[in-house]
Every structure is written in structure tokens, then in C-alpha cells.
């Protein structure tokens, strides 16, 4: 009986051993390392590692920017940090509440986890449901993962961590509570999911595309030298901003025209995607999702109140 138990355990070990994130920090600026995810969708073969996270090794210690999609990812991130520096982690900064950015928090409960107050509120309301959905999407990668709320409220302004002054910006186009971080020493801009590059943007919590476009203008006006998007490759030129403006403008006009013409949602999701966006990952998939998230607002904006029409 014992040999059978050992055999079963042995058969299970390779499967669990496969559930390891191969996180390879890449130095992108002075004291600054990037952990770059793929531009694919959540899947069981990637464990939800579709996100860019990062850390800065300051004189005081390590500042972490986003903790990834699972407890297992967060633990792998801590190991990657420890292999890079012997300095302790002293602060986590969360850009927003979406699961791929925050469900690694369990690995950082020994340090302050900072977020905008709106991010904490959204995570408190939506976190459990998002975690359950992640379990459905990526399976055993999520084993043991639970929502850990931020324990420190961040305010816009400059916060110093030793030799790195980080400018914190409170914006809102992606979720209503979006933190962007500019390292004033290196010029690295951590844009979070306000910037997607070569990957179609997601809109489930966006307060409106006009808000998002205004945020892009704010970010581009900063004295940045390198852009780290929430998803996609980093860039040293303004192309990510140009692509975001182009895509947001197209999506907004598409839905305005559709609502004005009385198109229904099924027609909208079949809309042709411009050739210039053909190379952007998940364009059709995210168009379908964005229409479902946002199109009812455009339809309501076209409606005339019956009592208003009668009074005229």
C-alpha cells in the first residue's frame, strides 16, 4: 500500500513542478529591473503571466511595482529579487486592482502594500470574483491564492526611497483608480494598464474613453525616457502613446457611429478592424469585450427622453 502511495505522489510531482514561473529579471535602467509577461490571453499554459511587473533597488531597499497574477507568481518574484540583490523589499506599489497585477500580494504581506484608495475599494468589492475567474482560466497555478488588500493609501505627489524620487500620479482612464509612477532619477515611467502596447487594451472598468485619452496626454507630457506599459514591450519613443491614442479614438468613433446608426451589439462586434491594428495581439477578442462593456452607454447617449420630446 505504501509503495502505491509513493507511486501516486511521484506521478503528481512532475505536474506540480511544471507550475513554475520562469521569471528572468532584465535590467532596463539604473537600479531597475523588468519582469516582462507575454501579450497572450490568460491560459493554463502561461499561468496568467501576461503582465509586466518591476522592481527598483534603492539605497533604502527594494520597491516592487505590481505583484503578478497569483501567490505562486509573487513567491517567484521574491526569489528573483533575492537573486538580484541582498537588500530587503520595503514597499509594494500597485498600479490598479485587476487580478494579474495584485494576486501576488500574499508573498509581500511583510511589507507595506500601497495603492490608491479607489484601487483598494475596487479590490475589496471585486477581488474575490476576479480570483475565482482566474482559477477557472489558469487552474492549478492559482492554488493557495487569496486576495490580500493593500494596507497603505497612496496620495499623488513625490515619494522618496533613498536615491530614487518616485512621482505618483492618480489617474483613472482604465479602472477609475489608476496609479502611474515616474522615477525622476531614471526617467522610467511605469504606466500600468493606462498603456497597452502591441496588445489590445481591456475596458471592463473604464469610466470612459475620453477620460483615458486625457490620461494618455498627461503621461506623454511627463519627462519620461523609457515607458513600461502594463502589457507589451517597453519603449524609448512615444509610439505606445500614439498607438493608444489611435486605438482609443478609433474605438470611440466606431461606437459613436454605431449608436447613431442604430446598430445592435451583434453588428458592432463584427466590425472590421483597421489594417493598422491587425498586428496587435487579441484585437478581435478585446473588441468583442469592449463593445459588451461600453456600447450600452453610447446607445443610451443617443436616446431621447420621451417627456423631453413631448414638451417640445
Q: What residue ranges in 67-124 does DSSP mark as E strands?
A: 89-93, 113-116
Instruction: Give me the chain's average pLDDT, please.
Output: 93
Distance CA 196, CA 208 (A): 16
pLDDT at 232 over 50: yes
Q: Where are the domains of the chain?
A: 18-238
pLDDT at 6 over 50: no
Question: How does residue 13 score in pLDDT terms, banded at 50, 70 and 90?
Answer: very low
Q: Are 187 and 223 in contact (CB under 8 A)?
A: yes
CATH fold of 18-238: Metallo-beta-lactamase; Chain A (3.60.15)
Task: Name the residue with higher pLDDT: 6 or 149.
Answer: 149
pLDDT, average across residues 126-155: 97
Q: Are 119 and 97 in contact (CB under 8 A)?
A: yes
The predicted pLDDT at position 12 comes to 44
Q: What is the percentage of the chain residues whose pLDDT exceeds 90?
A: 89
The predicted pLDDT at position 10 comes to 43
Task: Name the residue with higher pLDDT: 12 or 300.
Answer: 300
Distance CA 256, CA 262 (A): 10
Grid cell locating 284: 478581435
pLDDT at 227 over 90: yes
Is 301 strand, coil or helix?
helix
Read off the pLDDT of residues 154-180 as tens digits, 9 standing for 90 and up: 999 999 999 999 999 999 999 999 999
The predicted pLDDT at position 183 comes to 98
Amino acid at each position: 500500500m505504501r509503495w502505491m502511495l509513493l507511486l501516486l505522489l511521484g506521478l503528481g510531482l512532475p505536474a506540480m513542478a511544471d507550475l513554475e514561473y520562469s521569471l528572468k529579471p532584465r535590467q532596463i535602467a539604473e537600479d531597475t529591473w523588468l519582469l516582462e509577461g507575454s501579450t497572450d490571453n490568460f491560459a493554463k499554459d502561461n499561468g496568467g503571466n501576461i503582465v509586466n511587473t518591476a522592481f527598483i533597488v534603492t539605497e533604502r531597499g527594494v520597491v516592487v511595482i505590481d505583484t503578478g497574477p497569483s501567490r505562486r507568481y509573487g513567491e517567484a518574484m521574491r526569489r528573483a529579487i533575492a537573486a538580484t540583490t541582498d537588500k530587503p523589499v520595503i514597499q509594494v506599489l500597485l498600479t490598479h486592482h485587476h487580478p494579474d497585477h495584485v494576486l501576488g500580494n500574499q508573498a509581500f504581506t511583510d511589507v507595506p502594500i500601497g495603492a490608491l484608495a479607489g484601487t483598494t475599494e475596487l479590490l475589496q468589492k471585486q477581488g474575490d470574483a476576479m480570483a475565482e475567474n482566474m482559477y477557472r482560466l489558469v487552474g492549478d497555478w492559482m492554488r493557495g491564492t487569496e486576495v490580500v488588500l493593500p494596507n497603505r493609501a497612496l496620495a499623488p505627489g513625490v515619494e522618496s526611497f533613498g536615491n530614487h524620487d518616485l512621482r505618483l500620479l492618480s489617474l483613472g482612464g482604465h479602472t477609475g483608480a489608476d496609479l502611474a509612477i515616474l522615477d525622476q532619477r531614471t526617467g522610467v515611467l511605469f504606466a500600468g494598464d493606462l498603456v497597452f502596447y502591441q496588445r489590445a487594451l481591456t475596458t471592463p472598468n473604464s469610466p470612459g474613453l475620453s477620460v483615458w485619452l486625457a490620461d494618455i496626454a498627461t503621461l506623454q507630457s511627463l519627462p519620461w525616457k523609457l515607458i513600461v506599459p502594463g502589457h507589451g514591450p517597453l519603449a524609448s519613443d512615444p509610439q505606445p502613446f500614439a498607438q493608444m491614442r489611435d486605438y482609443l479614438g478609433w474605438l470611440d468613433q466606431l461606437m459613436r457611429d454605431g449608436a447613431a446608426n442604430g446598430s445592435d451589439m451583434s453588428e458592432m462586434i463584427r466590425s472590421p478592424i483597421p489594417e493598422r491594428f491587425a498586428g496587435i495581439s487579441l484585437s478581435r477578442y478585446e473588441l468583442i469585450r469592449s463593445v459588451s462593456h461600453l456600447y450600452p452607454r453610447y446607445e443610451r447617449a443617443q436616446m431621447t427622453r420621451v417627456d423631453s420630446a413631448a414638451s417640445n
